[in-house]
């Protein structure tokens, strides 16, 4: 076969690549970009209005000493620490189980009866109301230990986080192209090596997003903590004692008959949103470092 390329044909092809798009296609592109921008703006308006309302009402009541004083000293520090503690317990219990379950569903048991049963249970857990989860944790932990505790609250939050992590992990792994698995197998990689070194590594950003969503949901739950961790005006005495949290604090402040105390609901909401945002950004940063290593 000849390697000769006609210079005239090559020059004509290059000119076609450099020619601008037809006016009709350019107008269609501009119209679609404008429509996408308008729809994105409309979707952002509710979120933006909520954030503006919280910030405008809450910043006036914020004082720096609230971050290191307990509620008994007109601060929120014990509630902040309690929220971090219980969400941390929930993450510790649910993240390993959720990720491994998602890997099993996506890579090792796609069509068998056990997989279908696990997916069915996960779908049920996704739709269970949080107050029912709180009652379940109350019966499993509080009644057995005979006391409200941070551990019971963390256990309830782990049940809420688990189905979200399983679902997002499975979907993130399914998005990895099959040719990456085949390439690993062609180089001699076993199924476990391919799954954990290639597929899971490539799906890390998606898995991290699922974990962040689960943490954000758990951090804002109130009903399960009312049944399990209860509340405390001062610092917690340990994992097996009643513990304050920001969602329950917001609930208590809202139900207070004092209008001045009611205003602190907005300030507490700012702290809770900032906490969720911080951990979401931290998880993103860690996942990016893991990806590039």
The CA angle 143-118-199, to the nearest 5 degrees, is 120
> Interhelix angle for 150-174 vs 113-127, to 10°?
130
Per-residue pLDDT band at 165 (split at 50, 70, 90): very high
Distance between CA atoms of residues 163 and 140, nearest Å: 19
In whole angstroms, give the CA distance from residue 283 to residue 251: 28
Model pLDDT, residue 64? 87
Q: Give the tens place of pLDDT for each residue, 245-256.
A: 999 999 999 888
State both tokens at 57. 């009402």
Complete domains list, the chain, with CATH: 76-292 (1.10.3720.10)
Three-state secondary-structure class, residue 250 = helix
**Contact 267/61 with Cβ under 8 angstroms?**
yes
Cα–Cα distance between 145 and 110 in angstroms, integer?
39
88 band by pLDDT with thresholds 50, 70 and 90: very high
- Which helix (H) or strand (E) segment holds residue 249: the answer is helix 246-254
Question: Quick one: pLDDT at residue 90?
Answer: 95
Query: pTM for the whole thing?
Result: 0.82
Of 122-131, 135-144, 145-154, the poorest mean pLDDT is in 122-131
- Tokens at residue 95, please? 């993240």
Answer yes or no: is pLDDT of 138 > 90: yes
Tell me, rounded to whole angstroms, the distance of Cα 249 from its chain centroid: 22
Distance (Å, rounded) from C-alpha 293 to C-alpha 290?
5
pLDDT band at 1 (very low <50, low <70, confident <90, very high): very low
pLDDT reported for residue 18: 64
């Amino acid at each position: 076969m000849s390697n000769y390329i006609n210079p005239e044909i090559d020059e004509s092809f290059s000119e076609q690549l450099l020619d601008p798009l037809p006016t009709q296609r350019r107008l269609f592109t501009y119209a679609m970009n404008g429509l996408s921008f308008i729809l994105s703006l409309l979707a952002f308006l509710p979120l933006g209005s909520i954030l503006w309302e919280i910030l405008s009402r809450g910043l006036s009541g914020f004082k720096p000493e609230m971050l290191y004083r307990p509620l008994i000293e007109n601060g929120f520090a014990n509630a902040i620490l309690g929220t971090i503690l219980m969400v941390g317990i929930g993450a510790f219990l649910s993240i390993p189980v959720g990720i491994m379950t998602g890997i099993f569903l996506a890579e090792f048991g796609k069509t068998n009866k056990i997989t279908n049963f696990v997916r069915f249970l996960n779908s049920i857990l996704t739709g269970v109301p949080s107050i029912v989860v709180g009652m379940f944790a109350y019966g499993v932990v509080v009644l057995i230990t005979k006391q409200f505790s941070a551990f019971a609250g963390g256990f309830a939050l782990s049940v809420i986080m688990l189905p979200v992590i399983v679902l997002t992990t499975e979907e993130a792994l399914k998005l990895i192209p099959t040719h990456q698995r085949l390439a690993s197998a062609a180089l001699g990689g076993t199924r476990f090596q391919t799954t954990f070194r290639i597929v899971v590594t490539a799906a890390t950003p998606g898995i991290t997003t699922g974990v962040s969503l689960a943490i954000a949901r758990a951090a804002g739950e109130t009903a399960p903590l009312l049944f399990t961790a209860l509340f405390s005006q001062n610092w917690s005495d340990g994992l097996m004692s009643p513990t304050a949290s920001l969602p329950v604090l917001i609930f208590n402040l809202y139900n207070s008959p004092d209008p001045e105390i009611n205003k602190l609901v907005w300030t507490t909401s700012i702290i809770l949103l900032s906490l969720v945002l911080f951990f979401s950004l931290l998880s993103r940063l860690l996942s990016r470092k893991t990806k590039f290593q």
